[in-house]
Structure 1
Amino acid sequence: MAQASKVVVVGGGIGGLTVALALKRGGVEVEVHEKYDHLQSRATGFTIWSYAIKHLLDLGVDPDTLARLGSAIEFTEIRSRHGRLIESLPVGEVSRRLGAPTYDIQRHGLQEALIEALGAEHVKMGSEVVGIEQDADSATVVLKDGSRASGDLVIGADGAHSTLRDLVAGRHLELHYSGFSGWGALIPFTHELLPAQHHVEIWEKGSKGGVADVGGGRARWYVMHRAPAGGTSVDKQEILAHIDGWYELLAAAVEQTPEDGIVRTEAWDLAPIDSWIDGRVVLLGDAAHATTPFAAMGACMAIEDADALGRLLLSQSYETAFPAFEKERKERAEAVVKHGRTMGRVSQLQSTVALWLRDEFLAHVPPPKLAEIAEEMASGR
């Protein structure tokens, strides 16, 4: 069968926009449907590792735009509750060897950059998909307003709470709550304890936090803590009480943040599903393999999925491209989900003795091994 000439993408997040960009650059007509009528306005950021940045650059995303939206990380520091340096990962050095920087970057800004590279006319905002129809020749999404959009294929990139996932699986699939909730914000912020191009992470008993330079006199901060699912309110004084006695850098960032600028999140993931494919429909990113933030790989994995799927669809029919994509990415993605769970436990240990042993072990890791650890993360291995 011939390669696809039109693809409908469900979800206007990082994964959906990246796969649309990859396909458009290969001459495929694309149409992205995003259920919200605006980009997420949450003032947050994330780490995009070197391997994922390289994919974006190869797809034509402007490097100057990335530099404007974020800060290339030179060092990621892990510190104890009181600020003692446990280890410092040479992220900048290894990223340069890999051929692209690793960034701490604005989430909202990266979406805007991808839309600019793709062309806003290809993105339909406020267009919620509620169903799928497919036959021997096409796949069609059914929209909430009753209208339809058809293409040769449909790609489901609609996030952790995916509508398409249940349709592909043929049953409702429950996400797994990690037991951890988070607070965070992206703010104008500089501090003597936060050198330029540094990401400082603080590990505490049963909790962790961090502050990272995002460039342009801005920083992002976050705190993860144990909490029941379903909370919605944000109390700045509660956050300050939780981190009382921690490294003063984090408290300074929280103090400087207006309460209504703080975002509350929850860490959920997904057990492996049998298949990401149903006929002419395929899932990618969190829709296929939602992961917690503890491995710092969620957005990167979506970008890598998008690059792989785009490359395969541009070279062969979907009947061979979809299984090849699943074979290439499924085992790796599920390993990252599992690794995220492990990192959640390691970085937020409950035992005081285990905490001390972990920190002492990490503090004595030799520099070559630190470089190896940094390279594993930056390369996505």
Structure 2
Amino acid sequence: MEIVIIGAGMGGLTTGIALKKFGHKVTIYEQTEKILPIGAAISLWSNGVKCLNYLGLSEKIAKLGGQMNDLAYVDGLTGETMTQFSLQPLIQEVGQRPYPVSRADLQNMLMDEFGREDIHLGKRMLALEQQEQRVKIQFADGSEVETELLIGADGTHSLTRAYVLGEQVQRRYAGYVNWNGLVDISEDLAPAEQWTTYVGEGKRASLMPVADQRFYFFLDVPLPAGLENDRSQYQSQLKQYFKNWCPQVQTLIERLDPQKTNRVEIHDIEPFLQFYKGRVVLVGDAAHSTTPDIGQGGCQAMEDAIYLARALQINTLGVEDALSRYQEKRNERTKEMVLRARKRCDVTHMKDEATTQTWYSELRQEQGPHIMQGIIHNIVGNVLD
């Protein structure tokens, strides 16, 4: 079948790879002139890694992934360890190690695997129209293409979603700003093989190991939306936001490169259950835009990719029947992930001070199993279990 994918992000590329493996002719159209990763890195939990393993990418993703053996929460003000434990029981239970990875490294690997010759850049979709068994797509440069199936992997601002739902839904501001980037691994920031999160005052400073001796870092601060975004002010602002925090966090702020640091106002979208209309279907953030608070955004896009490709392969009552089965399989799980991330976001970022202070107290009593069971609950239930 001829298939067009709009968007060359994680979801679009993984979907394209999966569909090609089943023999489909797939072309990706991306609106940007040059593909740049959105964000410095991504935490690929075991369900996302399993999707890539299923596509034959086990060795490649393992090379890109950081060695994350332990997890710790640290009091950001005092530097006192609140809880610290091995992730090995989690890995044993779910059957796969998680991998924090650089987004640029992951995106380049996926583009090479899909085939760069089938990715067309500078193609911004303006409109789409269904005509019997075909979908007609119009681009801003005046060109048009037709296809048997259109997959919208065009992200949180998805035009494809507006077509499927009949309206452009509004994003919801989650209440905090995230700065993220990469720094060299150094023991004066955190242990090299540990995911370390400094918490306090509804804020976070977190470090995760990725390949090539680097930490992926992010810093979260509850702030109003719409504040000025000036790179030259990043370090001075962060020093103020994290004033009186422990030396490790101060050192991180000193070492980050403002020119290579991303600043993002975090949003999500109210979950909805309609993922397709005719021969147009949604994957990834176009279908279920979520906050990054449980690390499942990219993983859920990869689950979409595998199940959509399999639904088209194993169901023979027609394309729309397969899309209906994909929708029924995916919409409740992804809705749950969006709402679970939203709940975690509110606790972490002190939407209610008493609730967050209770969480801090619980962290000091935590031995590992409760946190790991929460992560496992996110991982299990995917299409490959």
Q: Where on the TM-score scale, by shorter chain, does this alignment land: which range?
A: over 0.9
Matches within 5 A, 1:65-104: 65-81=60-76, 82-88=78-84, 90-104=86-100
Aligned to 1:167: 163
Aligned to 2:145: 149
Matches within 5 A, 1:320-339: 320-339=321-340
RMSD: 2.0
CA pair 47-380 structure 1, distance change in 2 beyond 3 A: farther
Aligned to 1:211: 207
Structure 2 distance, partners of 1:178, 1:156, is 24
Report the residue type matching 1:167 in the other structure.
Y
Q: Per-residue CA shift, 1:7-60, capped at 9, x if unaligned?
A: 100110000000110000000010011111212155611200011101101102
Aligned to 2:119: 123
**Which secondary structure state, in structure 1, belongs to the residue aligned with residue 13 of structure 2?**
helix
Task: Mark the runs of 5 or more structure 2 residues left unpaired by the alignment.
Answer: none
Aligned to 1:233: 230
**Correspondence for 2:16 among 13, 20, 27:** 20
Following superposition, the deviation at residue 277 of structure 1 comes to 1.1
Aligned to 2:345: 344
Structure 1 distance, partners of 2:175, 2:354, is 22
User: Do the aligned partners of 1:240 and 1:251 also contact (CA within 8 Å) in 2?
Assistant: yes
**Which secondary structure state, in structure 1, belongs to the residue aligned with residue 177 of structure 2?**
strand
Structure 2 distance, partners of 1:118, 1:178, is 34
**Which secondary structure state, in structure 1, belongs to the residue aligned with residue 366 of structure 2?**
coil
CA pair 43-290 structure 1, distance change in 2 beyond 3 A: closer
- Greater shift after overlay, 31-40 or 313-322? 313-322
**Correspondence for 2:133 among 132, 137, 159:** 137
CA pair 192-209 structure 1, distance change in 2 beyond 3 A: closer
CA pair 240-60 structure 1, distance change in 2 beyond 3 A: same
| TM norm structure 1 | 0.93
Aligned to 2:373: 372
- Greater shift after overlay, 293-302 or 242-251? 242-251
Following superposition, the deviation at residue 351 of structure 1 comes to 5.7
Aligned to 1:242: 241
- May I ask how many residue pairs the two structures share in their alignment? 376
CA pair 140-61 structure 1, distance change in 2 beyond 3 A: farther
Following superposition, the deviation at residue 352 of structure 1 comes to 5.5
Report the residue type matching 1:68 in the other structure.
K
User: Do the aligned partners of 1:197 and 1:215 also contact (CA within 8 Å) in 2?
Assistant: no
User: Do the aligned partners of 2:206 and 2:217 also contact (CA within 8 Å) in 1?
Assistant: yes
Aligned to 1:258: 257
**Which secondary structure state, in structure 1, belongs to the residue aligned with residue 304 of structure 2?**
helix
User: Do the aligned partners of 1:95 and 1:378 also contact (CA within 8 Å) in 2?
Assistant: no
Matches within 5 A, 1:54-69: 54-63=50-59, 65-69=60-64
Structure 2 distance, partners of 1:380, 1:323, is 19
User: Do the aligned partners of 2:290 and 2:297 also contact (CA within 8 Å) in 1?
Assistant: yes
- Greater shift after overlay, 238-247 or 34-43? 34-43
CA pair 89-283 structure 1, distance change in 2 beyond 3 A: farther
User: Do the aligned partners of 2:346 and 2:352 also contact (CA within 8 Å) in 1?
Assistant: no
CA pair 61-334 structure 1, distance change in 2 beyond 3 A: same
Moved beyond 6 Å, runs of 4+? none
Q: Per-residue CA shift, 1:114-152, capped at 9, x if unaligned?
A: 111111112112211111121112112211111112221
Following superposition, the deviation at residue 334 of structure 1 comes to 1.0
Q: Is 1:30 aligned to 2:23, yes or no?
A: no
Report the residue type matching 2:230 in the other structure.
S
**Which secondary structure state, in structure 2, belongs to the residue aligned with residue 164 of structure 1?**
helix
Aligned to 1:187: 183
**Which secondary structure state, in structure 1, belongs to the residue aligned with residue 156 of structure 2?**
coil
Aligned to 1:358: 359
- Greater shift after overlay, 115-124 or 67-76? 67-76
Structure 1 distance, partners of 2:337, 2:351, is 23
Structure 1 distance, partners of 2:38, 2:367, is 39
Following superposition, the deviation at residue 354 of structure 1 comes to 4.0
Following superposition, the deviation at residue 244 of structure 1 comes to 2.1
Report the residue type matching 1:260 in the other structure.
Q
**Which secondary structure state, in structure 1, belongs to the residue aligned with residue 293 of structure 2?**
helix
Structure 2 distance, partners of 1:325, 1:88, is 39
Report the residue type matching 2:345 in the other structure.
G
Task: Mark the runs of 5 or more structure 1 residues left unpaired by the alignment.
Answer: none
| TM norm structure 2 | 0.92
Q: Per-residue CA shift, 1:300-348, capped at 9, x if unaligned?
A: 1111111111111122232211111111110111111111111111112
Aligned to 1:176: 172
Q: Per-residue CA shift, 1:158-205, capped at 9, x if unaligned?
A: 111111111111112111111211111113342244222211112222
**Which secondary structure state, in structure 1, belongs to the residue aligned with residue 176 of structure 2?**
strand
Structure 1 distance, partners of 2:19, 2:199, is 41
Following superposition, the deviation at residue 219 of structure 1 comes to 1.0
